[in-house]
Structure 1
Amino acid sequence: MTELDSAATQSAGSTDDGTPLGLAALLAGTLLGTVSNNIVNVPLGAILDDFDAPLGNGVFVAVGFLVCFAAALPLAGWLGDRFGRRRVYCVSLVATAVCAVGAATAPSLPVLVAWRSVGGIAVAALSPPVMGLITWMFSGQRRGRALGAWASVNGVGQAIGPTVGGVLAGTWGWRWIFVPLVPVALAGLIGTLRHVPRYPGAAIPFDLPGAVSLTVGSALLMGGVAILPQPDLPWWVALACLAVSAAVLGWFVWHCLRAPHPFVDVRLAAESRFARSCLAAFAQMFCLGATLLAVPLYLVSGAVSVATAGLVLFALPATMALLAPFVGRWLDRLGPRRVLRTGLVLLIAAEGALVAAVWRPQPVLGVLVGVLLASGVGVALVQTPAATGATRSPAGASGTGLGLFNLVRFGGAAVGAAWVAVALEFSGFPTVFGVAAAMAALGLAGSFVGPDPV
């Protein structure tokens, strides 16, 4: 993000010698991170029953992971630039496997939340290195195809995570949902060591005040939303977290505008292409995070089995995975912003349809599957253009830039998941999806800002 960071990144060069096996090793980490994120969504009710905990406390099994994950992303990007992206990626794979074992053996809900939260930090070190290594290893049309594969695997992870979690929890119990994460991590580690070139680190300065303020401010923002429905905490605690978050993030911007080597060059981050890509990604992930958590809760509350809920939810991410390889081709033919806007319009319509669908206390599975299919199309049409716009912008040229983009992107998922608990505590399922539709509309409005192509 700074001139020195960019120089360091450029000094590493671009190998343009990425192989299918090298790409597969990196996509294993993408799959691992996505599945780690959403594998608890469907079994969450079973986890709450096992520990006899209310939703306000139990939602931190999902939200704690997302908050720590999203807040740590910019720092993970810097670590990749400083110590080598491949090295950081390998360490993250091992740490994620360890956290999966810890979560599977957790004796209490607080211990489970702790392991999930640490696991979120471990997984955070997967995303920026993966995007950076793909950009480094592939160029031209090969890069577009590689990013299309990355988007497809994101969809696959979204598809199999809730489904596998529901099936495993329904068959052997919720603890088994974490077991498949270990072999995926080990396979990614072996493939990376064999087929991914070494990425040289660079001696770049570390802006400690900037890194701490961004991480803490982001965590307080997402955590403040998450603790609003907590039955054991007064409402003013959440508001205090949000107020402190605003102050810390404001100071972070002020500091980065004046520091000689800021952690994030906020001037580049404000560039229209990067900013609207971030806004669209936030809106898309807010809708995705809220939908993937709220729909199974709605189904289970309507006496639908956990396994069936996982299969119904499969429609959304499966559509994402199927369409992702084609979206990259449509970008060149139709234009990135046209594809992006089409996806956001579909998300608005799908979330609005979910508002109508969940008014009924008894779920109509066919209707829900149809709406989830439309939502999956919308997510697929937003995900690739937003990621492409971020990686093509000046801000996306360094690890901290990619980390900031992923912070915003997965921050959307964290806030969306936390919003589910807030809405269900004070209102109901229709409110969940009504606000998600409004968030998609905000992303659509942002896509009209600025003259540069996404």
Structure 2
Amino acid sequence: MNAARWGLLPLLTATLTTTMANTVVNVPMTSILAELHAPLSRGVLVATAFPVTLAALMPLSGWLGDRFGHRRVLSAAMLCMVVGAAGAALAPNLPVLVAFRMVQGLAAAPVLPGVMVLVVQVLGEERRGRAMSLWAAANGAGQALGPTTGGLLSELFGWRAVFWQIVPLAALVVLGGRLLLPADDRTVPRLRLDWSGALTITGAAALFLVSMSAVPSQGVGAPVVWGTALAGLLALVAFVLVERGRPAAFLRPRQLLELRYLRSSAAAGTQMFALGAMLLATPAYLVGTLGMAESTTGVAVLALPLAMVGLATPAGRATEGFGGRPVMCCGLLALVAALVLLAVATGLRAGPVPVVASLFLAGAGVAFVQTPAATGASRSRSGRTGAGLGLFSTTRFGASALGAACVALLGTSPPALVRVYLTCAALTAAAALFATPKTGGTTPSAGHRTAGGAMDIKAVGNRST
């Protein structure tokens, strides 16, 4: 590894840490709600407050990296993560815990779009697919360690210990970023913020997410649910009207309709909806129905993210070799099969072995979705900016929060969990249909040679989705 690539260490650790912080509460949720005397309909906010805040603020936080430098913003964000994790560990009641989960989501918001930009800068444009596979592997490692350490630490030391583990990891990212990442380029012109566009798109995302997250506790017909959804729709319309044709737009609405960006966002969103639901529903089944210990459940759930980590590099190579759309479609179909198997296993009250096998297949599907989806999004016109990548990440983590909310809405009895899994399978199948490559066209196997014999990298890049 050359000197510049040592910078991957803090970047991938930052991804791992923020992903862990998101999923660390899933397994010990029963213990958290029991100590704080909260029902699942309200306690689900512990799981959703992080991704909802994260998703709502990602477009604006992506712009912050473009404006002030991604290394500087990454360091500030991880310091904020230290505060959020320590506050959550010391929370005396549910509202305070939810508030500090929101602080953690605020801290994580600029990390993901910033890391996606910086990883490509470290490895080079021609290795974008490989760069996204490393990012996906770190994300999978976080998905693995979050539930696993959450279950183990909760059983050994109580649920508050699950937050303390985040503090040293975040501090290491700050130190590593200062020592190993190149300084931000001060010669790049500083972008001015288009406040009207930033506020309208951020407001729309926040209002939609709040509306959906309120469904489990308030009910589908509650005025707060429909009121915030309507306000979100009005904010989205305002964003389109304000940004249309503006030279210095925060995000150009026409570019957001680029098929490559839409396919990548749809695939990533449905995959994360299913992932958010599985990481809450499966522990609920293993603990609540089968009576497994939280520590054992954490190890069982490990099958899913381990598959994500192990297959991230092959997924990156497949994306570069075959193009993103066929790889992404295969990954979505594998995820559909895993969700159907989970529904069958849950409906039959099956033991942990078929559940773990289904989770491993789900992890394989996720691995072959998120790498080509991230590669395609980052190669699109909108994905060339931090704000565009932030909106892509908004889709991902907003969908994860909605998946968790779906579990709280439908319930955690085995029949209810069957409905959860089948709902996820239907949405994922629709995304697979959207991602299916058209037949009849021909695509070169690996770019094309120029007259001088050099490989045209652009030809490879155009095949990502």
Normalised by the length of structure 1, the TM-score is 0.92
Tell me which residue corresponds to 1:127: 112
- Mapping 1:49-448, distance limit 5 Å: 49-200=34-185, 202-230=189-217, 235-302=222-289, 303-360=291-348, 362-424=349-411, 428-448=416-436
- 8 Å CA contact 1:83–1:200 kept in 2: the answer is no
User: 1:441 deviation in Å?
Assistant: 1.2
User: 1:133 deviation in Å?
Assistant: 1.2
- 8 Å CA contact 1:18–1:196 kept in 2: the answer is no
User: 1:227 deviation in Å?
Assistant: 1.0
SS at match of 1:261: coil
- 8 Å CA contact 1:18–1:137 kept in 2: the answer is no
Name the amino acid aligned to 1:225: M
Q: 1:363 to 1:47 in 2, by over 3 A?
A: farther
Name the amino acid aligned to 2:314: F
User: 1:234 deviation in Å?
Assistant: 6.7
SS at match of 1:407: helix
Name the amino acid aligned to 2:318: W
User: 1:20 deviation in Å?
Assistant: 3.0
Q: 1:425 to 1:369 in 2, by over 3 A?
A: closer
Deviations 1:287-330 (A, max 9, x none): 11110111111111112211111111111011101110111111
SS at match of 2:292: coil
SS at match of 2:160: helix
Name the amino acid aligned to 2:261: F
Q: 1:425 to 1:215 in 2, by over 3 A?
A: farther
- 8 Å CA contact 1:226–1:422 kept in 2: the answer is no
Q: Does residue 28 of structure 1 match 2:16? A: no
Q: 1:234 to 1:205 in 2, by over 3 A?
A: same
SS at match of 1:199: coil
Name the amino acid aligned to 1:158: Q
- 8 Å CA contact 1:74–1:399 kept in 2: the answer is yes
- 8 Å CA contact 1:299–1:363 kept in 2: the answer is no
Deviations 1:22-42 (A, max 9, x none): 111111110111001100010
My pick for the range that moved more, 382-391 or 297-306, is 297-306
Name the amino acid aligned to 2:249: P
Q: 1:422 to 1:18 in 2, by over 3 A?
A: farther
Name the amino acid aligned to 1:153: A
Q: 1:111 to 1:132 in 2, by over 3 A?
A: same
- 8 Å CA contact 1:100–1:181 kept in 2: the answer is yes
Tell me which residue corresponds to 2:458: none
CA distance in 1, matches of 2:424, 2:417: 11
CA distance in 2, matches of 1:395, 1:233: 34
SS at match of 2:182: coil
Name the amino acid aligned to 1:212: L
Tell me which residue corresponds to 1:13: none
Name the amino acid aligned to 1:367: P
Deviations 1:319-356 (A, max 9, x none): 10111011111123333211111000011111111111
User: 1:226 deviation in Å?
Assistant: 1.2
- 8 Å CA contact 1:43–1:166 kept in 2: the answer is yes
User: 1:445 deviation in Å?
Assistant: 2.0
Q: 1:134 to 1:336 in 2, by over 3 A?
A: same
Q: How many residues align?
A: 437
My pick for the range that moved more, 410-419 or 77-86, is 410-419
Q: 1:363 to 1:173 in 2, by over 3 A?
A: farther
- 8 Å CA contact 2:147–2:302 kept in 1: the answer is yes
Name the amino acid aligned to 2:24: I
Deviations 1:331-382 (A, max 9, x none): 233332111110000111111111111114x451001011101101100000
CA distance in 2, matches of 1:213, 1:424: 34
CA RMSD of aligned residues (A): 1.9
CA distance in 2, matches of 1:23, 1:435: 37
CA distance in 2, matches of 1:211, 1:449: 34
CA distance in 2, matches of 1:245, 1:18: 46
SS at match of 1:304: coil
- 8 Å CA contact 1:156–1:318 kept in 2: the answer is yes
Name the amino acid aligned to 1:236: P
Deviations 1:143-197 (A, max 9, x none): 4333221111111110111010001001110000011111111111111101101
User: 1:220 deviation in Å?
Assistant: 1.5
My pick for the range that moved more, 156-165 or 423-432, is 423-432
Identity over the aligned pairs, expressed in percent?
41
CA distance in 2, matches of 1:412, 1:264: 21
User: 1:18 deviation in Å?
Assistant: 6.8
Normalised by the length of structure 2, the TM-score is 0.90
